[in-house]
Amino acid sequence: MRSLLLFFILGAITPIALAQDDSTFIRNAYDEALSRGHSYENLRSLCKDIGARITGSAEAAMAVEWSEAKMRSYGFDKVYKQEITVPHWERGTKEAGWVRRENGDLIKVHLLALGGSIGTVGLMEGELITFPSLKALQEASLKEVSGKIVFINQPMDEKEIITFRAYGGCYPIRGNGAVEGARLGAKAVIIRSLGLPIDPHPHTGSMHYNDSIEKIPAAAVSTQDAELIQQMVDAKESLEFVLEMDCQSYPDVQSFNVIAELTGTENPDEIITFGGHLDSWDTGEGAHDDGAGVIHCLEALRILKELGYKPKHTLRLVFFMNEENGNFGGKSYAKIVMDKGEKQIAAVESDRGGFAPRGFTCDGSIEYLKMLASFETHFTNYDLHIFDQGYGGVDISPLKDYYEGIPLFGFVPDSQRYFDFHHAPSDVFENVNKRELELGCAAMASFLYLLDKNI
């Protein structure tokens, strides 16, 4: 009878004890990140000692070396590189652009070629025709557009509270603008940068061509210059645009995903993949996109190891290469692990900047959404409140093509300032807040801890 009573007593207190253990561990993870963290110095080193890391560049190669050495310095159970093939595009000589007014005055604009664009082969100039949206361009006639330089002045919607929705609404002007312009005989396409603030920083980013349609140069001007051009258009001025871009694509090259693991103690063959992308655009330093993301994940694994956590499943940190202009790191990783017969049970990504953490989203079934929702109480004291359905991340998304039903989780920081810096020269280390970065690392470590225990 006494043994039976003891059984029921222990059964009643075990959930409370476990909750206390979780609470203590998460508190320790935050203390480690905030008081003894390595994240800010690691991000400084990645940004300043390596620099911008566009795929195929010397800086990208050095970033691979830097990452492997840093992972080895923490004594993780395994550290290795995964060979992949990636595209190689170079910006070349700095772009230049001007608006020529009716009276002959020239106004120099802040201009960046879009990633993957062809060059102009010397100076290119032409009459400027302006459209308020990609849809308006698509509805134009060949006669209106042929032989002209198109300017698409479609702003991000400032009414969207979640700024990624505003970005998604404008992405097609960057991705498809050159194809739609070329379809109507345009000489080149210029777009308004995808950014919310009115400032002088142009934003680059990937764009696409259609093999059946002539390739034309594509570039972005700053939002400040876009506003100025629109003022002149509204005043009924006839404008010309002059630009030179020396960008060029080269044959594919070898690169690597960089990987570290803590081996699972109960189910080592079941793998939770987490990470961000090591590459960046060649402007700025890739501090928020995605230096902060890879550092979040590196620091999270360091914290778990430092606190002596023994994961049930293998925790695999991946620094993916080539998210920005092809996602060959993510695509290759998914195919390689499937071909090896690995059992991938979940994936987590950080690729939304180094701002204050707000929560996590899940691209998965109701079962995993319920699990995610159950984590919320653990983060009440840490100002995280988003635990809902949503996107996982570009790098981990190809896993869905090979692992049916795999849940993908995305780290969600505050989004209000992200598009101040996204793909712009201003995306530098100095624009990352130390405490916000550290809080993100602690949130990632705590989330991985809970995910490993509950999945």
Q: Which of 211, 246, 281 lies at the terminal end of a domain, its last residue?
A: 246
Q: Verify that 406 and 448 share a domain, yes or no.
A: yes
| Other CB atoms within 10 A of residue 85 CB | 13
What is the SS3 assignment for 432? coil
To which residue do tokens 């063959």 refer? 269
CA separation for the pair 355, 343 (Å, rounded)? 32
Q: Which of 207, 225, 246 lies at the terminal end of a domain, its last residue?
A: 246
CA separation for the pair 347, 361 (Å, rounded)? 12
Mean pLDDT (the chain) is: 95
How large is the average pLDDT for residues 378-407? Answer: 97
How large is the average pLDDT for residues 291-306? Answer: 98
pLDDT for the residue numbered 88: 97
pLDDT in tens, 240-279: 999 999 999 999 999 999 999 999 999 999 999 999 999 9
Cβ contact 277:320 at 8 Å: yes
Q: Verify that 162 and 263 share a domain, yes or no.
A: no
Q: What CATH number should be reported for the domain holding residue 196? A: 3.50.30.30
Dihedral of CA atoms 182, 184, 188, 193 in degrees, nearest 10, equals -90
Whole-number Cα distances in Å, 320 to 270, 291, 396, 403, 430: 20, 11, 9, 19, 24
How large is the average pLDDT for residues 316-342? Answer: 98
Q: Which of 246, 279, 313 lies at the terminal end of a domain, its last residue?
A: 246
Closest CA to 206 of 295, 289, 96: 289
Is residue 10 over pLDDT 70?
A: no
Domain extent at residue 125: 95-246
Judge whether 6 lies within some domain.
no
Instruction: Band the pLDDT of 1: cuts 50, 70, 90.
Output: very low
pLDDT for the residue numbered 19: 56
Judge whether 14 lies within some domain.
no
CA separation for the pair 16, 149 (Å, rounded)? 67
Q: Verify that 189 and 267 share a domain, yes or no.
A: no
Q: What CATH number should be reported for the domain holding residue 399? A: 3.40.630.10
pLDDT in tens, 19-75: 559 999 999 999 999 999 999 999 999 999 999 999 999 999 999 999 999 999 999
Judge whether 154 lies within some domain.
yes
The model's pTM is 0.94
pLDDT over 70 for what percent of the chain? 96
pLDDT for the residue numbered 16: 42
Judge whether 22 lies within some domain.
no
Over its C-alpha atoms, the chain yields an Rg (Å, rounded) of 24
pLDDT in tens, 145-158: 999 999 999 999 99
- Residue 21: alpha-carbon gap to chain centroid: 33
Judge whether 176 lies within some domain.
yes
pLDDT over 90 for what percent of the chain? 96
